[in-house]
Structure 1
Amino acid sequence: MKAVIIEDEMLAAKQIVELLARYRQPVEVVAAIGSIEQAKIILPTIPRADIYLLDIRLSDGTIFDLAEEFLVKGPVIFITAYDSYMVRCFEFLCIDYLLKPVRAEKLYKSLDKLSWLTPASETNDFSTVIAQLKLHLESMQKRQYTLLVNDRDSILPVGADNIAYFESRYGQIKCTQFDGRSFFLTASSLDQLTGSVDTSQFYRVNRNRLLNRRAIKGLRYFSKEKWQVIVFPDAREPVFISRMKLSAFKNWLAGPAIQ
């Protein structure tokens, strides 16, 4: 697999190179580019890459300047500190949108999605690829990566990945982070929240609880009608899921967390 990196932060580019070196398939970085102007010079001179890993805001412009000149001619993974550019992903053949600092498992799952392209390209059935990518991008636009919480007299942004679970309490939404700290969200309801977070990462186990996959430590039989979900950090009150929902929950828990 041949990769091109466009990233103007040296440490971030170095991290991406190191992560690619540990991927299960060999990845050759054919170019590491640090600016839009460099990209305009270098990209036309090198063969098409299998994957392009792109930051969005660079020191001399945004990556979308390259879209206008059709210089990026393959699948793209955005790796950026900004979550406000998802709609413009359609200007590229985007297969994922990762927020910094990127974690290895998220990057590797994004790279695994390249397997979608191989069978279709061999049979020239590009309509299948486009349909899959369109559905994926539409679901990405609905994800809420950053949430606003009330902290005394302030409103603070909190990354959704940092939240272990949400609970509806007295008409408000309380979230508990993995470090044990709790806040109340500005969101109006758990239904609204459930529709906006990444459903591969969060699961609504009952009317009052929405759990992060990483917070779930196991299941324990409680009665004929329900099971207890063991979570970390420990919840003040036990978390239960009904026997009727148990099968679907276990299937979700055993499946991949797509990011």
Structure 2
Amino acid sequence: MTKHLLLVEDEPLAQVRISTIIRKHRPDWVVADTVQSISELEQALKNQAIFDLILCDIHLADGLSFRAFQNKKIKIPIIFITAYDEYALQSFEHNCIDYVLKPIQEERLVKAFEKVESLIQSPVSEGFSSEFVDKFIQRYTQKTFKRRFLTKIGTKLSFTSVEEIAFFYSEGGITFLVTSNSSQKFMTDHSLNELETELLNPNKFYRINRSFIINLDNLLEMKPYHNGRLVLSLNAKSEEVIVVARERVNEFKSWIDQ
């Protein structure tokens, strides 16, 4: 059954990514309109009746798209798209159909589509109050990431900013960070899981395999490697070949594109 979608996204590559997934998995769905700003979204919402679903990035160039929903009766389902995790979004889970994290995973977006199809028969929202929007924006903007790490050389303590870090890696149960250019290595008290899920900005850092998290700003080159993997060159020396796991290659490429 044909559905008409409103796509709210200001990143061209993300628009292409989403549209490609729609054509592949829901060829009968149509992106009826694409908007890139809060003001454009407000205009589009004046004609809600022509849309069956909204795919909405939260953070647009001119602010949080969520402001456009303030005090409006939203009668169609919304899938929010964001670089932030579920803890920042718990306050409005009951007001939307689903949310998808960036970098966008194809399987995850398809699951959101399936959820829409199972729930689309009934209205999903009674509108968002000013109090609710203010609370959401406060929680959203409070989401911060670690800006520096405490490092130690002998008995001397110092700080390393995240901008100086080329990659993190784990070896023998210990996590290390390696700085760009100088390639100095320091131990850190945080596990890779903690770094990936809580401390590092997912728009800058990506876990390429079980043992490595890289900083996109320090990526110099990538080449095809054995068994469908990618080998990376970073702005820092590594004792090991830095390889993107085969099961993460497609997602890694999409992450770079965004």
TM-score normalised by L of structure 2: 0.48
Of structures 1 and 2, the one scoring higher in RCO (CA 8 A, sep 6+) is 2
TM-score normalised by L of structure 1: 0.47
